[in-house]
Amino acid sequence: MPQGKPENVPDDGLTTRARRNRPLVIVHTGPGKGKSTAAFGLALRAWNQGWPVGVFQFVKSAKWRIGEEAALRALGEAAAGGTVTWHKMGEGWSWIRKPGSEEDHAADAREGWEQIKRDLAAETYRLYVLDEFTYPMKWGWIDVDEVVAVLRDRPGDQHVVITGRDADPRLLDFADLVTEMAKVKHPMDRGQKGQKGIEW
């Protein structure tokens, strides 16, 4: 894509403007750092355009305070830019899977997905950040085929970005833009834990 120009223009009957403004499904996956950070960068751009933004976190605990959340909440309350609404789905059910049972976590994930479906149908947001959403699909709590069908049939001009490792091939095949974050090296390889301002 030299200078941002597509190499091929499909014969789809759309004008350049119509093709440019099609809503996208974006996936950030892979073992490297930066998947959520990149999605929150998109949220900043959306906020700047005056779009309503919905953030749905599917793994991070409701007790955790990450820097992007504080910044986007503050921006969402500012007079300029769009609104930002933040939803946390559960109390930290990632690979540590605690507290609560797996059944509790699965139920929380399904309710989170039901809320997203309601918001998509109502066109509540222009950008949806579904942070760590690949995990409930990987663990079988949410059906991948249903996710693809709902996103395929969503009305209006709603963009969706999904983050997390091990994205299902069906989701990757459906998505418009897929980026795989690959780890080359990380301080944790040398035994260094995460730190303020870098990881949160």
Q: Write out the chain's pLDDT in tens, 200 residues.
A: 456 677 777 777 777 776 778 999 999 999 999 999 999 999 999 999 999 999 999 875 555 566 677 777 777 787 788 899 988 875 544 444 455 566 777 888 899 999 999 999 999 999 999 999 999 999 999 999 999 999 999 999 999 999 999 999 999 999 999 999 998 888 888 888 878 777 76
Q: What pLDDT score was predicted for residue 66?
A: 67
Decide: residue 83, CB within 10 A, 0-12 exposed, 13-18 middle, 19+ buried: middle
Check residue 101 and give its pLDDT: 61
What per-residue confidence (pLDDT) applies to 197? 72
pLDDT at 34: 92
| Three-class DSSP labels, 114-140 | HHHHHHHHHCCCCEEEEECCHHHHHCC
Please give the pLDDT value at position 43.
Answer: 94
Helix H or strand E segment including 88: strand 84-88
**Which secondary-structure segment (H or E) carries 95?**
none
Domain ranges of the chain: 26-181
Q: What is the pLDDT of residue 186?
A: 83
Q: For residue 152, what pLDDT is reported?
A: 98
pLDDT of residue 93: 43
Whether 116 contacts 110, CB under 8 Å = no
CATH fold of 26-181 reads Rossmann fold (3.40.50)
pTM of the model: 0.86
